[in-house]
Amino acid sequence: MQKSKTVTYIDEHQLFWFQINRPDKRNAVDYDVMNELEQALKEVEGNPAIRAFIITGAGEHSFCSGGDLSVFHALHTKEEAYSMLSKMGEILYSLMTLPVPTYALINGIAIGGGCEIASACDQRWALPHAKLGFVQGKLGITTGWGGASMLFEKIPSPQALQMLNSATIYPAEVAEKLGYVQKIVPSNETHTLHEGLVQSSGVLRSYKQALVKKWEQTNLKERMLAEIEQCAYLWEQDEHHNAVARFLQNKKK
């Protein structure tokens, strides 16, 4: 029997936890993970008692390594790529605009789409050994789930462009200096996350709604979809397919 690819629960503080449970795949995202994240976000939105949403990865090594290339490498054309990319982009827009505070608990490596997921969250807390980077450029594509547009909302543009253009993987302490990570927390203190939140879920949701209104007025969703379309164009180019083929070949060695 196959174990579930995600684990969800609501803790005693009314925080909703979503864990990607594919440690053998470095917690990569496939269609099942997408669908289960989409369902979890709907559950949070519809439950007024929930005070916050936390997403993390199973194990001690990976938060999320992005899209599962062994699955998505089968997508070749712009249209095929756009179908997958826009689906996840819509889900991450829902995460970005979720009516409660959201946290990415980065418990290990977070690369590519993993950083896009983290960028959709209001805060990013990292364990000391975490490393993260927008490595998409090394595969001949841009952020494909709207990550750049979200990143520009979260940190100053010079730092955002540095992270995107360099495709560098940063240690947690450097990411904190760039403003991407808000807090570095030991693994035995992740349970203290609720201490920074007032008790009233109504208050928490009201403040988040004020922020969401700003993003609606600046057409964030449209900007994300335009970014996704550009990635889909690059996706079908030989540069991308050759880079992914080399990556998958190196993994077998």
Q: ∠ CA(21), CA(184), CA(67), 5° rounding?
A: 35
Tell whether the model's pLDDT for residue 126 goes beyond 70: yes
Give pLDDT, residue 1. 46
* Residue ranges making up the domain that contains 174: 6-196
- Cβ distance 129 to 79 under 8 Å? no
Domain-embedded: residue 20: yes
Q: Is residue 245 situated within a structural domain?
A: no
DSSP tag of 111: E
Q: Name the residue type at position 96.
A: M
CB within 8 A of 200, min separation 6: which ones?
Answer: none
* Residue 185 forms part of a structural domain: yes
100 contact partners, CB below 8 Å, separation of at least 6: 16, 44, 50, 51, 52, 53, 201, 204, 205, 208
14: domain CATH number is 3.90.226.10
55 domain-assigned: yes
In-domain check, residue 120:
yes
- Angstrom distance (rounded) from CA 151 to CA 145: 11
In a domain? residue 28: yes
Per-residue pLDDT reduced to its tens digit, 131-160: 999 999 999 999 999 999 999 999 999 999
What values do phi and psi take at 134, rounded to 5? -90, 90
pLDDT at 162 > cutoff 80: yes
The string of pLDDT tens digits covering residues 62-90 is 999 999 988 998 899 999 999 999 999 99
Q: What is the pTM of this model?
A: 0.96
Domain count, the chain: 1
